[in-house]
Amino acid sequence: MPMQLTGVEVRVLPDADAVAAATAEIVLSAAAEAIAARGAFRLVVAGGTTPMAAYRLLADAEADWAHWHIYHGDERCLPVADADRNSRATDEAWLSRVPIPSEQVHPIPAEQGAEDAAAAYEPVVAAALPFDLVLLGMGEDGHTASLFPGHEILPGPLVMAVHDSPKPPPDRVSLTPSALCRTRQMVVMVTGAAKRPALARWQAGEGLPVARVAAGGSALVLLDQAAMPDTAGEDPDPERG
Ligand code: 6PG
């Protein structure tokens, strides 16, 4: 039975490498289209580990980098140089390797603390809307960006401060659904067996943050086979026995 999730298109790919390759291809074609139509490409990048393989592919790609504008979907309140900053990880995997003008790369100033950083980033996001493409991941609890189950998600602001995040560090800054869903395209990348329970809850119709944002953005959800819930009960590692 094909995987169905409410309000989104689902594409199941063999493995994480295939998800990375498909993501990189979508990013490059969305960029070419946006630059041809509007002279600029406004992209929101995802944090976490899942997108890194796609970013490494983009680092070796040919593109009209001079017209790219990069925004972050969320950030961790850590010093700028901290290895766990999404901005640093994305720079190292990709952005520092391509000639996107530095004034067009917009990290979230999360080192300032969640409230100040959210206030500082709000006008940056407001000036960029609508985005051309938003990239997102999904956590094992069904969070996306830094929008966590059980946390109040404010309808008005485009950017919000986050505290008591169940995923370290506790303080973060996140774009809200009001910002993330104002996009021409959205891609959610989900790989690995650890994501199965959350996908099963999403499939069952639970209003997880990822489900609400993805439906609001008419997302394309790229899964790998290992993440597929309907393989539940099958041992993800038959060799292990
Ligand atoms: C973060 C991310 C977060 C991430 C998910 C999935 O800052 O942690 O923005 O939303 O996308 O937690 O993380 P992985 O890709 O590492 O599984």
Ligand 1 pocket, mutate which of 74, 75, 88, 222 (most atoms under 8 A from CB): 74
Q: What is the pLDDT of residues 170-208, one digit of tens each?
A: 999 999 999 999 999 999 999 999 999 999 999 999 999
Q: 136: part of which helix (H) or strand (E)?
A: strand 131-136
Q: Judge whether residue 231 has pLDDT over 80.
A: no
Q: What is the DSSP string of 192-224?
A: SGGGHHHHHHHHTT---HHHHHHHHTTPEEEEE
Query: What number does the ligand 1 atom closest to the CA of 174 have?
Result: 9
Answer whether 186's CB lies under 8 Å from 218's CB: yes
Ligand 1 pocket, mutate which of 50, 151, 153, 221 (most atoms under 8 A from CB): 50
- Encoding tokens for residue 185? 């395209």
**What is the per-residue pLDDT for 164?**
97
Query: What number does the ligand 1 atom closest to the CA of 145 have?
Result: 10
What single-letter amino acid sits at 81?
Answer: A
**What is the per-residue pLDDT for 56?**
98
Q: What is the pLDDT of residues 12-63, one digit of tens each?
A: 999 999 999 999 999 999 999 999 999 999 999 999 999 999 999 999 999 9
Residue list, ligand 1 pocket, CB within 6 Å: 46-50, 74, 76, 86, 137-139, 143-145, 167
Ligand 1 mean position, distance from CA 155 (Å): 22
Answer whether 169's CB lies under 8 Å from 113's CB: no
- Label residues 87-120 b or e (16+ Cβ within 10 Å = b): bbbbbebbbeeeebeeebbbbbbbbeebeebbee
Ligand 1 mean position, distance from CA 139 (Å): 6
Query: What number does the ligand 1 atom closest to the CA of 51 have?
Result: 15
Q: Judge whether residue 3 has pLDDT over 70.
A: yes
Query: What number does the ligand 1 atom closest to the CA of 137 have?
Result: 11
| Residue partners of 176: CB distance under 8 A and separation at least 6 | 147, 153, 154, 155, 157, 158, 159, 160
- Label residues 37-76 b or e (16+ Cβ within 10 Å = b): eeeebbbbbbbbebbbbbbebbeeeebebebbbbbbbbbb
| Residue partners of 80: CB distance under 8 A and separation at least 6 | 87, 88, 107, 111
Ligand 1 mean position, distance from CA 137 (Å): 6
Answer whether 26's CB lies under 8 Å from 184's CB: no
